[in-house]
Amino acid sequence: MPQSARLYCILDLGYTPEVRAEEVTASLLAGGADILQLRAKNHDHATIRRVAEKLLPLCRAAGVPFILNDFPALAGEIGADGVHIGQDDGSLEAARAAFAPERGVGVSPAAFPPSSIPPIIGRSTHSLAQARAALAEGFDYIGFGPLFPTPTKAGRPAIGVREIAAMEREVGSAIPAFCIGGITPATLPQVLAAGARRAVIVSALLNADNIEAATHAVKTALKEKGG
């Protein structure tokens, strides 16, 4: 995970149908996505594998790590650069073990050699305590949120922006920490003012009329924040 990464984008099949996955990913990458995750809740492994095969070469060409949400073993098989797991998805050690044995099998990894060895493994965190724990366990990066209520994770309580500064100081200074959840062009200034340096933005980009321009705008705001 490059330390310079600021904007983490997610191609979420809940928003973007498979037929548009490549076009939308190309727009996210052109707009400045530093990381690209494929998130496919309620889709079978065959679908995930098929979509990943389409997105991997785009990410490789852009020099952007490709992360699969959930399924460490499948992530390893398809030649992803890493996997993102939640609080209930087991330990870092278990995710690493599941990812590694299949590395090199599946989607012709020779055609898309992984850009990250060892794999990048990220954890969702929902509090400062969980962020500290993920750092201590050795995760490569964290997501921190949801900051605001979001239709992408309906029903998940929002944690607000209060803990961002402490989280950035204690955790974000050691590993990349991406604030997430309800971040839009309208809420981003408040998130940055609270001390955030990195963000994951899903629906506000996938639903934008001009995805590349919307992505470029938030990337510029994150870069200007610096730090």
Catalytic sites, residue numbers: 39, 124, 153
Select the binding partner of residue 76 from Mg ion, ligand TZP, none (C-beta < 5 to 8 A, by kind): none
Q: Contacting ligand TZP (CB under 6 A), which of 115, 116, 190, 203?
A: 203
Q: Which residue, 29 or 150, has its beta carbon nearer to ligand TZP?
A: 150
Select the binding partner of residue 138 from ligand TZP, Mg ion, none (C-beta < 5 to 8 A, by kind): none
Residue whose CB is nearest to Mg ion in the complex, by number: 86
**Alpha-carbon distance 95 to 76, whole Å?**
10
- Residue 170 touches Mg ion, criterion: CB under 5 A: no
The 103-132 contact track toward ligand TZP, x by CB under 6 A, reads ---------------------x--------
The residues binding Mg ion (CB under 5 A) are 70, 86
The residues binding ligand TZP (CB under 6 A) are 124, 143, 145-146, 150, 152-153, 180-183, 201-204
